Structure 1
Amino acid sequence: MQAFAGEIGIVIIATLFLLLITVAPILFVLMHQRQYHRYLSDKEEIKNLNQRELLQSQLEIQNQTFQQIGEELHDNIGQLLTVALMRLNTLEDEVIDPDAQQSVQQTREIIRTIITDVRALAKTLDHDTVRRFGLLASLTLELERIQRTGRIQIQFQTSGETYSLGEQTETVLLRMTQESLNNALKHAQAQSITVSVDYQPTLFILSISDDGRGFELEDVAKRALDKAGVGLTNLYRRAGLLGGTCSIVSHPGAGTRVEIKLPRT
């Protein structure tokens, strides 16, 4: 009986030993995988943190540059245009010929339009505009400035109950919109542009669409380094750093649509 019990004990010990030999490598692999995944997660978090800090630095440099340009436009160019307008007013009083008077009046109206546009441009370049008035007002100012040029028809659509996304996020969104509008004006040969903003309860959507000539995204991606632009890459990267996504849909002859989605935080 004792011998039988001893044999059972040996079997149990052997079984436990075999289980230990079998399970130990599995546990080791699982622990290693867990540590590796944690390492990848920490690495990705550090990468995202560095990218966010880089974006913040770029944004600050860009804001300072735009601020200087805006001040230059407002203080110097604006003043020179105002002086030119005053001299035209004096010239109009001195000119007797009706045709010459009409020419002076037309020139005066052109300068007044330029002054208005310069002031509007100076405001959209100033990041304090977003801080003081918010994204919608800043977008409206930018679109009205483009509309006054008479080159293109602008539509601005909003839906949902407005909420703040934060000064930095809204400043980046304004710059992304300006970049998209600039692409449409320079390259698309569009007749109209539609900007829409949708404030959903958990999601913010901003889209910029044009009816221009469009392009193939694959062709742009295959361009040589000296011919490739960074505009599209900047849109993708900035949206990602804001915690959202940017999608671009374009086909030759069918226009282009840029859509930016950000979760509400």
Structure 2
Amino acid sequence: MQGDALDRIIKNAIDVMESSKYQIFEICESVRSERNALNFELHQVLEETSKTIDMVDHCEMEYRKARIRLTEVSRDFKRFTEEDIRSAYELATNMQTQLAMYREKELYLKTRRDDLQKRVKNVDKQLERAESVVTQVNVVLEYLSGDLNQVTRLLESAKNRQLLGLKIILAQEEERKRIAREIHDGLAQTMANVVLRTEIAERMLSKQAYNSVKEELVDLKGQVRGGIEEVRKIIFNLRPMALDDLGLIPALRKFIQDYEEKTKINTRFELVGKDARLPSGMEVAIYRLVQEAFSNVLKHAQASHVTLELTYQQQMVKIVVTDNGVGFVVDNIDKKIEKGSHYGLIGMRERVELLEGRMEIQSTKDVGTKVSILIPIKSDSKEE
């Protein structure tokens, strides 16, 4: 009876979530349409900006000619009449007025361009949040839509295993979404902008606006370099090449250096014992553990200093991450981990358990936190 009741509850939950999913999908489509409209308007503004820059260059050239002409007729009263002087003066004045008008228009268009780019970025963030909700709903639906009898057994006898299974699916979806977001927000946007700016530079070249072309190309070169850097970051985050080529210690040194530059948190790395290559899987696991520990410091600790101490022993690797942040009550955090509400520490604890190690957390309010991890090195897994 209890199993039937639970099945009905789960089926009702699935129906409600299916309905909600389509509503969220409609919101996503609406936001996506708004983004497309903004991108179209941005493209038009960029084109109009290019044309206005051309007109500014043209007016500057004509204004210089008009001033030269006015100077000539003003100096030679014998050759030129008062009518010639008046005409030259009016032409110079008109060109000056046109130049000021087009300069003002150029300034307005550039301001409008910057505003549209900010709006596009904000809409992208809204779309990202909506898609994240859809992803989470899909994950839960996928999990609940399986064998309901199995779900019942899991609920009754293996709640932790169910949480682990759900977390694995969620982690996979989040990783896919993260990679897609990095490519979309970084590389894809950069490449699209490069195409637009190249077209603008091409039109300027045809009209011999060389100074403006030079400025566009300098900016274009910077964007391409930024795109290359984004690609390198994505590749490094997927699998740090230094980890394969040089080993764990150089990869960790590079990570800590980048972490300090990015977060402005002072860092220190201490190596105790003799550096030795470990099995590839173990090196990756240790690297990810350190990543997650430092990420937790950034998110929660409000620290100004963090230290990584890595100790190599004959049959053990010890990882200690210490910060001088706000600290917390350890009993409370243990309860959060048990309830599955602190995913960073859950992920770390699961990695440690997979390596048959153990993790200890020591923390004092307003003093700091110390995370200690011990990982055994099995004799049959050592690399020669």
Range of TM-score over shorter length: 0.5 to 0.7
- Contact in 2 for aligned 1:247/1:258 (Cα 8 Å): yes
Q: Distance in 1 between matches of 2:249 and 2:180?
A: 22
| Equivalent position of 2:244 in the other structure | 131
**Number of the residue aligned with 1:216:** 329
- Where in structure 1 are there 5+ consecutive unaligned residues? 1-50
- Counterpart of 2:212 (choices 77, 81, 94) is 94
Tell me the matched-pair count. Answer: 204
Matching of residue 77 in structure 1 with residue 77 in structure 2: no
Task: Indicate if the aligned counterparts of 1:85 and 1:112 stay in contact, CA closer than 8 A.
Answer: no
Q: How far apart in 2 are the matches of 1:82 and 1:157?
A: 41
Query: 1:87-236 maps to which residues of 2 (within 5 A)?
Result: 94=212, 116=229, 119-120=232-233, 122-126=235-239, 130-223=243-336, 228-236=341-349
Query: Cα distance, 1:129 vs. partner?
Result: 5.1
Instruction: Report the Cα distance in structure 1 between the residues aligned to 2:226 and 2:320, rounded to whole angstroms.
Output: 29
User: Which of 367, 372, 384 is the aligned partner of 1:254?
Assistant: 367
> How far off its partner does 1:148 sit?
1.8
Distance 2:339 2:271 in 1: 39
Q: Distance in 1 between matches of 2:174 and 2:335?
A: 32
- How far off its partner does 1:153 sit? 1.4
Distance 1:127 1:64 in 2: 21
Structure whose residues are more often helix by fraction = 2
AA partner of residue 255 (structure 1): G
TM-score normalised by length of structure 1: 0.58
Could you tell me which residue of structure 2 aligns to residue 19 of structure 1? none
**CA drift at 1:65:** 7.2
Deviation at 1:118, TM superposition (A): 6.3
Q: Which amino acid aligns with 1:94?
A: S
Q: Take 2:338 and 2:353, find their aligned partners in 1: how far apart are those partners?
A: 23
Q: Please give the alpha-carbon distance, in whole angstroms, between the structure 2 residues aligned to 1:156 and 1:118.
A: 27
Mapped to 1, the partners of 2:342 and 2:329 lie a distance apart of 14
Query: Which whole-Å deviations, capped at 9, do the CAs of 1:106-155 have from their partners, x for residues lacking one?
Result: xx989968964763453033266533332223222322222222431121
Go from structure 1 to structure 2 and tell me whether the alpha carbon gap of 1:264 and 1:225 turns closer, same or farther (over 3 Å shift): closer
Tell me, in whole angstroms, the C-alpha distance in 1 between the residues paired with 2:334 and 2:353. Answer: 19
- Residue by residue over 1:72-112, the C-alpha shift from the partner in whole angstroms, topping out at 9 and shown as x without a partner, is 74798247548869969x8xx6399xxxx9xx99xx98996
- CA distance in 1 between counterparts of 2:362 and 2:337 reads 21
Q: Cα deviations across residues 172-215 of structure 1 (Å, max 9, x unaligned)?
A: 11111111111110111111111121122332111211111011
Q: Verify the 8 A CA contact 1:78 1:118 in the aligned structure 2.
A: yes
The runs of 5 or more residues in structure 2 that have no matched partner are 1-160, 202-210, 379-384
Q: How far is 1:229 from its partner?
A: 1.2
Single out whichever of 61-70 and 130-139 deviates more from structure 2.
61-70
**Between Structure 1 and Structure 2, which shows a larger proportion of strand residues?**
1
CA RMSD after TM alignment: 4.4
Residue 205 and residue 223 in structure 1: after superposition, are their counterparts in 2 closer, same or farther (change >3 A)?
Answer: closer
> Could you list the per-position Cα deviations for residues 35-55 of structure 1 after superposition, in whole angstroms to 9, with x for gaps in the alignment?
xxxxxxxxxxxxxxxx9xx99
Whether the aligned pair in 2 keeps the contact of 1:120 and 1:145 (CA below 8 Å) is no
Q: How far apart in 2 are the matches of 1:224 and 1:240?
A: 14
SS at match of 1:149: helix
TM superposition shift of 1:253: 0.8
Closer, same or farther in 2 for the Cα pair 1:73/1:132, shift >3 Å? Answer: farther
C-alpha contact 2:326 2:367 (8 A) present in aligned 1: yes
Question: Partners in 2 of 1:248 and 1:224 — Cα distance?
Answer: 12
Q: Which residue of 2 aligns with 1:26?
A: none
2-structure distance, mates of 1:239, 1:171: 12
- 1:114 and 1:148 mapped to 2: Cα distance? 20
